[in-house]
Amino acid sequence: MKIAFIGLGNMGGGMAANLVKAGHEVRAFDLSDEAASRARDNGAQTFGSVREAVDGAEAVVTMLPNGAIVKQVYSADVIGHAPTTALLLDCSTIDVASAREVAAAATAAGYDMVDAPVSGGIAAANGGTLTFMVGGTDPAFARAEPILARMGKAVIHAGQAGSGQAAKICNNMILGATMIATCEAFAMANKLGLDGQTFFDIASKASGQTWSMTSYCPVPGVGPTTPADNGYQGGFATALMLKDLKLAMAAAKDAGAQVPMGQRAAELYDAFDKAGNGGLDFSAIIKTL
Ligand code: NAD
């Protein structure tokens, strides 16, 4: 299949390489020459513009930084330039309103489109083990699933347009809040004289168990190997967690949802990011507690 791939950064680079490995003809474009050159090394054909890359494509995948860029790329260079038979898949994490706006414009122009944000970081993008949360019609999902399956381990239909983004930010709002709650508990246990490993052994088998504890423990040397064991390098950057929490807060405002825990998590990650920690894994927030 001829697949145009726009946005070959930390995530898109590995995803495009996995489509090449699956036997697809990947027509790639990125504003960065360095990213384009890496994609060429991985077997993609690169082009000088989005319009050239989407010319004649049967599917278009985008993995871009934010909603403003996604809107701009689709309205200026994808819609009306890719064949209307092409399936459009936006895998970027963006706000629900922009996702719905782009999908409506694409549908009005005769395209099938899905929003398909991912869970999993750079390692999962490289390894083809991402989880995709997909928003779109049943026929659009049916077309998207086999393409996404070559880049991930799970592809889940969340509902109509924008539902993939809604699932992603609601999930990450839980993650942000529970990571802070888990960090607080470890820090307090320590102050109360409890050994970290002992507290892990108890809470991981009791009602306080969270994914942030058992799969991503923020305390070095406790539980499985995590970014905490590597000086909080790698993993899921604080800046990206903050981005997702801000998207969640915007969506909550639009929907009139009460999110006091998500709001507090957003404030705490904002302060942690502003203190110069945006590049550290998000579990490093334990250092502030
Ligand atoms: P990145 O900044 O590494 O990559 C984005 C790429 O898009 C860059 O190479 C940039 O040059 C390119 N780009 C920007 N504007 C463009 C345009 N107009 N046309 C063509 N290319 C353009 O970001 P990333 O880490 O790959 O993240 C991409 C998306 O995935 C984001 O929405 C992010 O929130 C989401 N995400 C990231 C992670 C992660 O761990 N990095 C995890 C889950 C989801």
Distance CA 217, CA 201 (A): 12
Q: Is the pLDDT of residue 262 over 90?
A: yes
* Section 22-30 average pLDDT: 98
Calculate how far, in angstroms, residue 65's C-alpha sits from the geometric centre of ligand 1.
4
* Section 69-82 average pLDDT: 98
Distance CA 137, CA 12 (A): 24
Of all protein residues, the one whose alpha carbon is nearest to atom 42 of ligand 1 is 121
Tell me 111's DSSP state: -
Q: Ligand 1 — pocket residues by CB below 6 A?
A: 6-12, 29-32, 35, 50, 63-65, 69, 73, 92-93, 118, 121-122, 236, 240, 243
Q: Which residues pair with 265 in a beta bridge?
A: none
Pocket test residue of 10, 60, 126, 283 for ligand 1, highest count of atoms within 8 A of CB:
10
Predicted confidence at residue 148, as pLDDT, reads: 98
Of 2, 21, 168, 274, which residue is the catalytic one? 168
Q: Is the pLDDT of residue 285 over 90?
A: yes
Calculate how far, in angstroms, residue 265's C-alpha sits from the geometric centre of ligand 1.
24
Of the chain, the percentage scoring pLDDT greater than 90 comes to 98
Of the chain, the percentage scoring pLDDT greater than 70 comes to 100
Whether 168 is a known active-site residue: answer: yes
Calculate how far, in angstroms, residue 113's C-alpha sits from the geometric centre of ligand 1.
19
Predicted TM-score (pTM) of the model is 0.94
- Ligand 1 atom at shortest distance from the alpha carbon of 244: 34
Predicted confidence at residue 29, as pLDDT, reads: 98
SS3 content of the chain, % helix, strand, coil (to 5): 55, 15, 30
Predicted confidence at residue 180, as pLDDT, reads: 98
Predicted confidence at residue 116, as pLDDT, reads: 98
Identify the band that residue 94 occupies on the pLDDT scale cut at 50, 70 and 90: very high
Identify the band that residue 121 occupies on the pLDDT scale cut at 50, 70 and 90: confident
pLDDT digits (tens, 9 = 90+) for 158-195: 999 999 999 999 999 999 999 999 999 999 999 999 99
Identify the band that residue 234 occupies on the pLDDT scale cut at 50, 70 and 90: confident
Q: Is the pLDDT of residue 152 over 90?
A: yes
Q: Element (H or E) spanning 245, and its range? A: helix 238-255
Q: Please, what are the domains in the chain? A: 2-161 (3.40.50.720), 166-288 (1.10.1040.10)
Predicted confidence at residue 25, as pLDDT, reads: 98
Q: Element (H or E) spanning 147, and its range? A: helix 138-149
Identify the band that residue 55 occupies on the pLDDT scale cut at 50, 70 and 90: very high
Predicted confidence at residue 123, as pLDDT, reads: 87
Predicted confidence at residue 120, as pLDDT, reads: 87
Identify the band that residue 71 occupies on the pLDDT scale cut at 50, 70 and 90: very high
Return the sign of the alpha-carbon dihedral for residues 249, 72, 158, 239: negative
- Ligand 1 atom at shortest distance from the alpha carbon of 32: 11
Calculate how far, in angstroms, residue 94's C-alpha sits from the geometric centre of ligand 1.
11
